[in-house]
Chains A and B, each alone.
Chain A
Amino acid sequence: MEWGEVKKGIRRINYIVCAVGMAMIIPLMLLTFADVMLRGFFNKPIPGSFEISQYILAIFILLGAAYTQQVKGHVGVDFVTSRLSPRLRAVCEIVTTLLSLFIVAVVVWQGWVVGITEKAVSDQLRIPQYPFKLLVAVGGLLLWFELLIDLLGSLGKLRRSEP
């Protein structure tokens, strides 16, 4: 298979995963709203709305991490690098992306290790925590692939700028 197609496939998956996560924001909003209204007017809060909110936040943050990298949403300082030659800039990108790949790999690996051994459940609804903790590994892996695409892109830029 062509690399271009694989790249497109990864980006598509990351977009869809992010869309699934972000669709949870509206239920989060309505749940909290309903909880306040029911508590305020009928003194009947929705049980467990606090912990459900927490889990929803975890879902859309962790699933959105890769897409955020896709649109270069994880901010950096380009004040210096934008003044460098294209070749030097590509070298900077390669070094920093390799370091990012390293730390995200640690997150994926350890996210799996701590997630799979997690025994805790939520206080009220007894929802187990481990599926959500494992999303650290899942979201991290997708982010890692997104960074890999960036790395290959920078390597291509370096090759093209070869004197």
Chain B
Amino acid sequence: MTPIAAGIIGSVFLLVLLFLGMPIAFVMMFVGFLGISYLASVHAALPVVANTVYETAAYYPYTIIPLFILMGSFAGGAGITAKLYGSFDKWFRKLPGGLGIATIAACACFAALSGSSVAAAAAMGTIAIPEMRRFKYDPALAVGVVAAGGTLSFLIPPSLGFVVYGMLTEQSIGKLLVSGILPGIVLSLAFIAVIVVKVKLNPVLAPATPGHVTWKEKFHALGGVWETMLVFVIVMGGIYLGFVNPTEAGAIGATALFIIVISKMKLTWRSLSTALLEATRISVLVLFLVAGANVFSYFLALSTIPASVSAWMAALQVSKYVVITIIIVIYLILGCFLDAISMMVLTMPVIFPVVKTLGFDPIWFGVVCVIMMEAGLITPPVGLNVYTLAGVVKDVPMSTIFRGSLPFLLAMIGVTILIAIFPGIALYLPSMMGR
């Protein structure tokens, strides 16, 4: 058997075990181990898995993961979500679908403090959805807005999506995080545009919220936003100017929010242990996935598949934009069945060399990948944000939530095309960075 044949058989075996429900991290370690045993020797393969687990678990840059998750938990615990929502409601009340717009804006701001989208969807779900339903918003619109808004946490830094992409492709995590800022703003605006257009076409979807807000109240409401802005500016400013590395920025952000929670007397043993358990669970999940991916990549490298596929792709006489379109379609389909991080971990060993060979900027592709990860959070049948929201609002069926988030999925695809036409949206800020 040639190495390539072994690699293909290994990959098929991996897919079979995956669909039988084996945890993805263990599948990759298992198949990787068998593959290395076959292509090198059992003797060489034996220590690989244990060594990879240790090296992944004791790698300094990865300390950023628990810190980013803590930021989100502390921000949620401090009641910042409710305050953001209240402030933006006052500003956007007169616009069509004002509460929906306020939800997107609050989600975008919360995203500037939180790295995980499920936290955002859950937190906003309990605040924004009851409000929108109280004012007789269409349920599909109300829940769809929150499901889509929650995904912004993946794109707007701090973002777990960029950290994982950076880990898998050895790109600068700092540059990736900064590259997410402008696309994040563009995507938020696109979401808002979706709401405005929908409500303009069909005003019944979102009756206007009664009550006049004076300018004095509006400016007073800005007080609800300053903490968020301050923490964001310190964290991202530190990274941007090169004063701190992303991990240190994560520690500063988490400590700042920790102090805010304590100063508001909102820290209980219960909330602290929930936050820590959450941080541990997600960090373990991500790092075991990455360790599995490293073992599997080692096997794939021995099988020479990534190099062959890249060479084959490069020799293909088609436009590189056709290839990237195919990759995006593949991600949209995979996102329906896999969770966002597993999807990246499973595909990156083969896809990334191809993208690099085609001459795409790795940072730009990172932004595209993260938008695709976001899309996976709201596509049926297993969109994670939709599942989370279905747990929060029990009287809205899951199919309604999927239907409600569909227009926002189209907005994501639209923004991806926009970024393909104007790569500067993603690349301008990182190109200006201190280091």
Cβ of B46 within 8 Å of any chain A Cβ, yes or no, is yes
**Which secondary structure dominates where chain B touches chain A?**
helix
Is A106 close to B, CB under 8 A?
A: yes
Q: How far is the CB of B117 from chain A (nearest CB, A)?
A: 15
B243 contacts A by Cβ under 8 Å: yes
Contact of B33 among A28, A33, A55, A106 (CB under 8 A): A106
* Complex Cα spacing A52 to B382, Å: 39
Which among B29, B273, B285 is the interface contact of A75 at CB below 8 angstroms?
A: B285
Determine whether A36 belongs to the interface, using a CB cutoff of 8 Å to chain B. yes
> In the bound complex, how far is the Cα of B67 from the Cα of A56, in angstroms?
13
**Contact A75–B342 (Cβ < 8 Å):** yes
User: What is the chain B residue whose CB lies nearest that of A113?
Assistant: B47
Q: A60-B280, A79-B381, A96-B21 are in contact. Are A104 and B63 (CB under 8 A)?
A: no
Q: Is the CB of A78 closer than 8 A to any CB of chain B?
A: yes
CB-based contact B20/A96 at 8 Å? yes
**Residues B338 and A57 in contact, CB atoms below 8 Å apart:** no
Q: How far is the CB of A56 from chain B (nearest CB, A)?
A: 8
Nearest CB of A to B402, in Å? 15
Chain A interface, DSSP helix/strand/loop, else mixed: helix
Q: Is B379 an interface residue (CB 8 A)?
A: no
User: Are the C-beta atoms of A93 and B281 separated by less than 8 Å?
Assistant: no
- Interface membership of chain B positions 24-68, coded 1 if the CB is closer than 8 angstroms to chain A and 0 otherwise: 111101100100000000000011011101100111101100110
- The proximity string for A residues 63-76 relative to B, scoring 1 for CB distances below 8 Å and 0 otherwise, is 01101110101111
Which of B2-10, B190-198, B245-253, B309-317 is found at the contact surface with chain A? B245-253
Q: In the complex the two chains form, what is the Cα distance from A137 to B53 in whole Å?
A: 10
- Choose one: B53, B58, B337; the contact of A107 (CB below 8 Å): B53
Instruction: Take A29-B67, A53-B60, A77-B24 as given contacts and tell me if A36 and B248 are in contact as well, using a CB distance cutoff of 8 Å.
Output: yes
A53 to B245, CA, bound (A): 14
User: Contact at B281–A64, with CB atoms within 8 Å?
Assistant: yes
Flag if B58 contacts A103 (CB, 8 Å): no
Given known A-B contacts A28-B66, A50-B60, A99-B26, A76 and B276 have beta carbons under 8 A apart = no
A39 to chain B, nearest CB (A): 9
In the assembled complex, how far is the CB of residue B212 from the closest CB belonging to chain A, in whole angstroms? 44
Task: Decide: A61 and B57 in contact? CB cutoff 8 A.
Answer: yes
CB atoms of B21 and A61 under 8 A apart:
no
The reply to whether A60 and B54 form a contact with Cβ atoms under 8 Å apart is no
Q: Which of B265-291 contact A (CB under 8 A)?
A: 273, 276-277, 279-285, 287-289
> Which residue of the partner chain, among A19, A58, A96, contacts B17 with CB atoms under 8 Å?
A96
Which of B20, B49, B337, B381 counts the most chain A CB atoms within 10 A? B20
Whether a CB of chain B sits under 8 angstroms from the CB of A145 is: no
Which of B46, B53, B70 has the most chain A CB atoms inside 10 A of its CB? B53
Q: How far is the CA of A67 from the CA of B22 in the complex (A)?
A: 17
Contacts of A133 in B (CB 8 A): 54
Q: Does A40 sit at the interface, judged by CB under 8 A?
A: yes
- Contact indicator A36/B251 (Cβ below 8 Å): yes
A60 CB contacts on chain B under 8 angstroms: 66, 280, 283
Contacts of B244 in A (CB 8 A): 36
> Given the complex, which residues of A lie within 8 Å of B381, measured CB to CB?
79
CA distance A99 to B381 in the complex (A): 27
**Does B227 sit within 8 A of A, measured CB to CB?**
no
Given A22-B277, A103-B29, are A54 and B58 also a contact pair (CB < 8 Å)? Answer: yes
The reply to whether A79 and B382 form a contact with Cβ atoms under 8 Å apart is yes
**Is A125 engaged at the interface, CB distance under 8 Å to the other chain?**
no
A80 close to B49 (CB less than 8 A): no
Q: Do B255 and A95 have beta carbons less than 8 Å apart?
A: no
Chain A residues within 8 Å of B25, by CB: 74
Beta-carbon contact of B251 and A103 below 8 Å: no
Chain A 107-122 interface mask (CB, 8 Å, partner B; 1/0): 1001101100000000
What distance in Å separates the Cβ of B248 from its nearest Cβ neighbour in chain A? 5
Which residues of A, 90-147, contact B by the 8 Å Cβ criterion? 92-93, 95-96, 99-100, 102-104, 106-107, 110-111, 113-114, 132-133, 136-137, 140
- In the complex where A80-B20, A96-B22, A99-B17 touch, is A18 in contact with B280 (Cβ < 8 A)? yes
Residues of B contacting A132 in the complex (Cβ-Cβ under 8 angstroms): 54, 58
* Residue B154 is within 8 A (CB to CB) of chain A in the complex: no
Contact B280 A22 (CB under 8 A): yes
In the complex, what's the smallest C-beta–C-beta distance from B136 to chain A, in angstroms?
A: 36
| Contact across chains for B47 and A29 when beta carbons are under 8 A apart | no
Beta-carbon contact of B50 and A106 below 8 Å? yes
What residues of B have a CB within 8 angstroms of the CB of A113 in the complex? 47, 50
B26 touches A104 (CB 8 A): yes
Whole-angstrom distance between the alpha carbons of A33 and B66 in the complex? Answer: 14
Question: 19 A–B contact pairs at CB < 8 A?
Answer: A18-B277, A18-B280, A21-B280, A22-B277, A25-B280, A33-B255, A40-B243, A53-B60, A57-B60, A64-B283, A74-B26, A76-B18, A96-B21, A107-B53, A111-B53, A113-B50, A114-B54, A136-B54, A140-B53
9 other A-B residue contacts (CB within 8 Å) besides A26-B258, A75-B289, A96-B20: A29-B70, A32-B67, A58-B57, A61-B287, A64-B283, A103-B26, A103-B30, A113-B50, A136-B57
